Amino acid sequence: MQVTSIGSRVGKIKLENSDDGSHNVFVPFKKYLKTEVAKTINAAVELDTKLLRGFSFYHPLGSNPWDYIPQAVDQIGQIVDLCAKAGLIFGLEIEPNLVGETGPLLAELSRKVKHPNMVCIWDGGNVAAQNKNPVQCHDEYQAVKKHIGWMHIKDYTIDPDLEWTGVVDEERLKNFVPANVGDAGHEMILRDFKEMIPKLEKKMKKLGVPGVFLEAEPHLKGGGQFGGFSGPDGMGVAVRSLCSVLDYVGIDYDLRSFDDIRTLRGF
Protein backbone atom coordinates (compact mmCIF):
# COMPACT_ATOMS: atom_id res chain seq x y z
CA MET A 1 0.00 0.00 0.00
CA GLN A 2 1.21 3.49 -0.84
CA VAL A 3 -0.08 6.95 -0.01
CA THR A 4 -1.23 8.81 -3.12
CA SER A 5 -1.31 12.28 -1.60
CA ILE A 6 -1.68 14.31 1.56
CA GLY A 7 -5.22 15.74 1.62
CA SER A 8 -4.21 18.64 3.83
CA ARG A 9 -6.13 21.76 4.86
CA VAL A 10 -3.13 24.02 4.14
CA GLY A 11 -4.44 27.35 2.85
CA LYS A 12 -7.78 27.22 4.67
CA ILE A 13 -7.15 30.30 6.81
CA LYS A 14 -8.01 33.97 6.40
CA LEU A 15 -5.87 36.33 4.38
CA GLU A 16 -6.79 39.21 6.69
CA ASN A 17 -7.27 39.43 10.44
CA SER A 18 -10.74 40.92 10.22
CA ASP A 19 -14.15 40.01 11.59
CA ASP A 20 -16.14 39.16 8.46
CA GLY A 21 -18.87 37.13 10.13
CA SER A 22 -17.30 33.78 9.23
CA HIS A 23 -15.78 31.30 11.67
CA ASN A 24 -12.56 31.01 9.66
CA VAL A 25 -9.36 31.69 11.56
CA PHE A 26 -6.42 33.98 10.90
CA VAL A 27 -2.84 32.89 11.58
CA PRO A 28 0.16 35.19 10.98
CA PHE A 29 1.69 33.80 7.82
CA LYS A 30 5.29 33.41 8.99
CA LYS A 31 4.03 31.42 11.96
CA TYR A 32 1.75 29.40 9.66
CA LEU A 33 4.70 28.39 7.46
CA LYS A 34 6.66 27.17 10.48
CA THR A 35 3.76 25.25 12.02
CA GLU A 36 1.00 23.72 9.90
CA VAL A 37 2.78 23.98 6.56
CA ALA A 38 6.04 22.53 7.90
CA LYS A 39 4.24 19.68 9.71
CA THR A 40 2.26 18.79 6.59
CA ILE A 41 5.36 18.73 4.41
CA ASN A 42 7.11 16.52 6.96
CA ALA A 43 4.13 14.13 6.91
CA ALA A 44 4.32 13.87 3.12
CA VAL A 45 8.05 13.13 3.25
CA GLU A 46 7.63 10.51 5.99
CA LEU A 47 4.79 8.81 4.08
CA ASP A 48 6.84 8.88 0.85
CA THR A 49 4.26 10.67 -1.28
CA LYS A 50 4.96 13.39 -3.82
CA LEU A 51 1.56 15.09 -3.83
CA LEU A 52 0.28 17.59 -1.26
CA ARG A 53 -3.20 19.12 -1.62
CA GLY A 54 -3.85 22.65 -0.43
CA PHE A 55 -6.06 25.70 -0.84
CA SER A 56 -6.04 29.38 -1.78
CA PHE A 57 -7.01 31.20 1.46
CA TYR A 58 -10.22 32.93 2.53
CA HIS A 59 -10.74 36.48 1.33
CA PRO A 60 -13.09 38.50 3.59
CA LEU A 61 -16.65 37.22 3.34
CA GLY A 62 -18.59 39.23 0.76
CA SER A 63 -15.51 40.74 -0.90
CA ASN A 64 -14.33 40.31 -4.50
CA PRO A 65 -11.78 37.44 -4.68
CA TRP A 66 -10.03 39.03 -7.67
CA ASP A 67 -8.89 41.86 -5.40
CA TYR A 68 -6.95 39.34 -3.29
CA ILE A 69 -5.12 37.54 -6.09
CA PRO A 70 -1.75 39.27 -5.40
CA GLN A 71 -1.71 38.37 -1.68
CA ALA A 72 -2.88 34.82 -2.35
CA VAL A 73 -0.22 34.39 -5.05
CA ASP A 74 2.50 35.59 -2.68
CA GLN A 75 1.47 33.20 0.11
CA ILE A 76 0.82 30.22 -2.15
CA GLY A 77 4.16 30.84 -3.85
CA GLN A 78 5.99 30.62 -0.52
CA ILE A 79 4.25 27.33 0.28
CA VAL A 80 5.12 25.93 -3.15
CA ASP A 81 8.77 26.93 -2.67
CA LEU A 82 8.89 24.93 0.58
CA CYS A 83 7.20 21.96 -1.11
CA ALA A 84 9.69 22.06 -3.98
CA LYS A 85 12.64 22.04 -1.57
CA ALA A 86 11.22 18.82 -0.11
CA GLY A 87 10.67 17.31 -3.56
CA LEU A 88 6.88 17.68 -3.40
CA ILE A 89 4.22 18.89 -5.81
CA PHE A 90 1.61 21.27 -4.41
CA GLY A 91 -1.90 20.76 -5.77
CA LEU A 92 -4.17 23.81 -5.48
CA GLU A 93 -7.78 22.67 -5.25
CA ILE A 94 -10.81 24.57 -6.48
CA GLU A 95 -12.96 25.28 -3.43
CA PRO A 96 -15.99 27.49 -2.64
CA ASN A 97 -15.56 30.68 -0.57
CA LEU A 98 -11.79 30.84 -1.14
CA VAL A 99 -9.87 33.01 -3.60
CA GLY A 100 -9.57 30.08 -6.02
CA GLU A 101 -13.29 29.26 -6.04
CA THR A 102 -13.80 29.28 -9.83
CA GLY A 103 -11.96 27.94 -12.85
CA PRO A 104 -10.83 31.38 -14.07
CA LEU A 105 -9.65 32.37 -10.57
CA LEU A 106 -7.74 29.13 -10.07
CA ALA A 107 -6.13 29.45 -13.51
CA GLU A 108 -5.05 33.01 -12.72
CA LEU A 109 -3.45 31.88 -9.45
CA SER A 110 -1.59 29.15 -11.32
CA ARG A 111 -0.37 31.56 -14.01
CA LYS A 112 0.81 34.10 -11.45
CA VAL A 113 2.57 31.56 -9.15
CA LYS A 114 4.11 29.98 -12.27
CA HIS A 115 6.06 27.20 -10.56
CA PRO A 116 6.76 23.73 -12.02
CA ASN A 117 5.98 22.18 -8.62
CA MET A 118 2.42 23.52 -8.55
CA VAL A 119 -0.59 22.11 -10.36
CA CYS A 120 -4.32 22.59 -9.92
CA ILE A 121 -6.85 20.03 -8.69
CA TRP A 122 -10.28 19.87 -10.28
CA ASP A 123 -13.21 18.95 -8.04
CA GLY A 124 -16.56 19.07 -9.82
CA GLY A 125 -18.58 18.72 -6.64
CA ASN A 126 -16.99 21.87 -5.25
CA VAL A 127 -18.11 23.76 -8.34
CA ALA A 128 -21.64 22.34 -8.58
CA ALA A 129 -22.09 23.20 -4.88
CA GLN A 130 -21.88 26.84 -5.98
CA ASN A 131 -25.28 26.41 -7.66
CA LYS A 132 -23.76 25.68 -11.07
CA ASN A 133 -25.26 23.28 -13.59
CA PRO A 134 -23.29 20.76 -15.71
CA VAL A 135 -22.73 23.21 -18.58
CA GLN A 136 -21.42 25.88 -16.20
CA CYS A 137 -19.19 23.33 -14.46
CA HIS A 138 -17.78 22.27 -17.84
CA ASP A 139 -17.04 25.91 -18.71
CA GLU A 140 -15.18 26.32 -15.41
CA TYR A 141 -13.18 23.18 -16.13
CA GLN A 142 -12.25 24.48 -19.58
CA ALA A 143 -10.89 27.67 -18.01
CA VAL A 144 -8.42 25.79 -15.80
CA LYS A 145 -7.86 22.44 -17.52
CA LYS A 146 -4.35 23.11 -18.83
CA HIS A 147 -3.21 23.71 -15.24
CA ILE A 148 -4.72 20.49 -13.81
CA GLY A 149 -2.42 17.82 -12.36
CA TRP A 150 -5.00 15.49 -10.85
CA MET A 151 -8.69 15.35 -9.93
CA HIS A 152 -10.87 14.78 -6.92
CA ILE A 153 -14.05 12.95 -7.80
CA LYS A 154 -17.18 13.92 -5.97
CA ASP A 155 -20.50 15.20 -7.22
CA TYR A 156 -23.32 17.36 -5.98
CA THR A 157 -27.03 17.74 -6.70
CA ILE A 158 -28.38 21.28 -6.65
CA ASP A 159 -31.22 21.68 -4.16
CA PRO A 160 -33.73 24.19 -5.61
CA ASP A 161 -35.16 24.76 -2.13
CA LEU A 162 -31.90 26.34 -0.94
CA GLU A 163 -31.62 30.04 -1.72
CA TRP A 164 -28.29 30.92 -3.35
CA THR A 165 -26.63 33.79 -1.48
CA GLY A 166 -23.26 33.67 -3.22
CA VAL A 167 -21.66 31.70 -0.39
CA VAL A 168 -21.61 27.94 0.16
CA ASP A 169 -22.95 27.17 3.64
CA GLU A 170 -22.95 23.92 5.59
CA GLU A 171 -26.52 23.10 4.55
CA ARG A 172 -25.40 22.79 0.95
CA LEU A 173 -22.73 20.27 1.87
CA LYS A 174 -25.37 17.63 2.59
CA ASN A 175 -26.14 17.17 -1.09
CA PHE A 176 -23.07 15.27 -2.33
CA VAL A 177 -23.85 12.28 -4.56
CA PRO A 178 -21.97 9.69 -6.67
CA ALA A 179 -20.26 10.88 -9.85
CA ASN A 180 -22.85 9.44 -12.22
CA VAL A 181 -25.93 11.25 -10.89
CA GLY A 182 -24.96 14.82 -9.92
CA ASP A 183 -24.72 18.26 -11.54
CA ALA A 184 -20.93 18.46 -11.92
CA GLY A 185 -20.94 17.17 -15.51
CA HIS A 186 -18.42 14.37 -15.03
CA GLU A 187 -19.39 12.69 -18.29
CA MET A 188 -18.56 15.81 -20.35
CA ILE A 189 -15.47 16.67 -18.32
CA LEU A 190 -13.92 13.20 -18.26
CA ARG A 191 -14.61 12.74 -21.98
CA ASP A 192 -12.49 15.83 -22.60
CA PHE A 193 -9.93 14.91 -19.91
CA LYS A 194 -9.39 11.56 -21.64
CA GLU A 195 -7.59 13.37 -24.47
CA MET A 196 -5.27 15.11 -21.97
CA ILE A 197 -4.17 12.01 -20.07
CA PRO A 198 -1.21 10.88 -22.26
CA LYS A 199 0.46 14.31 -22.19
CA LEU A 200 -0.37 14.88 -18.53
CA GLU A 201 0.98 11.46 -17.59
CA LYS A 202 4.36 12.38 -19.12
CA LYS A 203 4.35 15.67 -17.20
CA MET A 204 3.55 14.06 -13.86
CA LYS A 205 6.11 11.28 -14.35
CA LYS A 206 8.79 13.91 -14.94
CA LEU A 207 7.82 15.31 -11.53
CA GLY A 208 8.32 11.87 -9.95
CA VAL A 209 4.63 10.88 -9.79
CA PRO A 210 3.61 7.45 -11.18
CA GLY A 211 0.86 8.89 -13.36
CA VAL A 212 -2.47 10.73 -13.32
CA PHE A 213 -4.75 10.16 -10.35
CA LEU A 214 -8.49 10.41 -9.91
CA GLU A 215 -8.98 10.49 -6.15
CA ALA A 216 -12.37 9.45 -4.81
CA GLU A 217 -13.56 11.99 -2.24
CA PRO A 218 -17.32 11.45 -2.38
CA HIS A 219 -18.57 12.71 1.04
CA LEU A 220 -21.62 10.48 0.59
CA LYS A 221 -22.47 10.39 4.31
CA GLY A 222 -21.76 14.06 4.89
CA GLY A 223 -19.28 16.77 4.05
CA GLY A 224 -18.03 19.95 5.63
CA GLN A 225 -15.45 22.67 5.49
CA PHE A 226 -12.68 20.54 6.94
CA GLY A 227 -13.66 17.00 6.02
CA GLY A 228 -16.21 14.49 4.83
CA PHE A 229 -17.18 10.89 5.40
CA SER A 230 -18.41 8.07 3.20
CA GLY A 231 -17.54 4.88 5.06
CA PRO A 232 -16.38 1.65 3.37
CA ASP A 233 -19.81 1.07 1.80
CA GLY A 234 -20.04 4.66 0.60
CA MET A 235 -16.58 4.46 -0.96
CA GLY A 236 -17.64 1.26 -2.72
CA VAL A 237 -20.71 2.99 -4.15
CA ALA A 238 -18.61 6.00 -5.21
CA VAL A 239 -15.92 3.91 -6.93
CA ARG A 240 -18.45 1.78 -8.81
CA SER A 241 -20.24 4.93 -9.94
CA LEU A 242 -16.97 6.46 -11.13
CA CYS A 243 -16.12 3.26 -12.99
CA SER A 244 -19.47 3.43 -14.78
CA VAL A 245 -18.63 6.96 -16.01
CA LEU A 246 -15.12 5.87 -17.05
CA ASP A 247 -16.62 2.94 -18.97
CA TYR A 248 -19.05 5.31 -20.68
CA VAL A 249 -16.38 7.79 -21.83
CA GLY A 250 -13.80 5.11 -22.64
CA ILE A 251 -11.09 5.67 -20.02
CA ASP A 252 -9.31 2.42 -19.09
CA TYR A 253 -8.54 1.40 -15.52
CA ASP A 254 -7.48 -1.67 -13.56
CA LEU A 255 -9.25 -3.07 -10.51
CA ARG A 256 -7.67 -5.45 -8.04
CA SER A 257 -8.42 -9.02 -9.11
CA PHE A 258 -8.22 -12.51 -7.67
CA ASP A 259 -5.02 -13.01 -9.67
CA ASP A 260 -3.48 -10.13 -7.71
CA ILE A 261 -4.50 -11.80 -4.48
CA ARG A 262 -3.11 -15.15 -5.63
CA THR A 263 0.21 -13.48 -6.45
CA LEU A 264 0.28 -11.88 -3.00
CA ARG A 265 -0.32 -15.31 -1.44
CA GLY A 266 2.58 -16.79 -3.41
CA PHE A 267 0.57 -18.93 -5.84
Is the pLDDT assigned to residue 215 strictly greater than 90? yes
CATH number at residue 260: 3.20.20.150
3-state secondary structure of 152: strand
> Comparing C-alpha atoms, which of 23, 182, 209 is closest to residue 119?
209
Is the pLDDT assigned to residue 225 strictly greater than 70? no
| Residue 239, strand partner residues | none
Q: What are the pLDDT digits (tens) for 148-197?
A: 999 999 999 998 888 888 888 877 778 899 999 999 999 999 999 999 99
Alpha-carbon distances, residue 191 vs 98, 132, 145, 258, 264 (angstroms): 28, 19, 13, 30, 34
Q: What are the pLDDT digits (tens) for 8-35?
A: 999 999 999 999 988 899 999 999 999 9
* Between 108 and 228, the higher pLDDT residue: 108
> Judging by beta carbons within 10 Å of its beta carbon (0-12, 13-18, 19+), is residue 105 exposed, middle or buried?
buried
3-state secondary structure of 57: coil
* Percent of the residues in the chain that have a pLDDT greater than 90, as a whole number: 81
- C-alpha–C-alpha distance, residues 178 and 236, integer Å: 10
Q: What are the pLDDT digits (tens) for 21-78?
A: 888 999 999 999 999 999 999 999 999 999 999 999 999 999 999 999 999 999 999 9
Q: Which residue range is the domain that position 12 belongs to?
A: 5-264
- Give the number of domains in the chain: 1
Q: Is the pTM of this model over 0.85?
A: yes
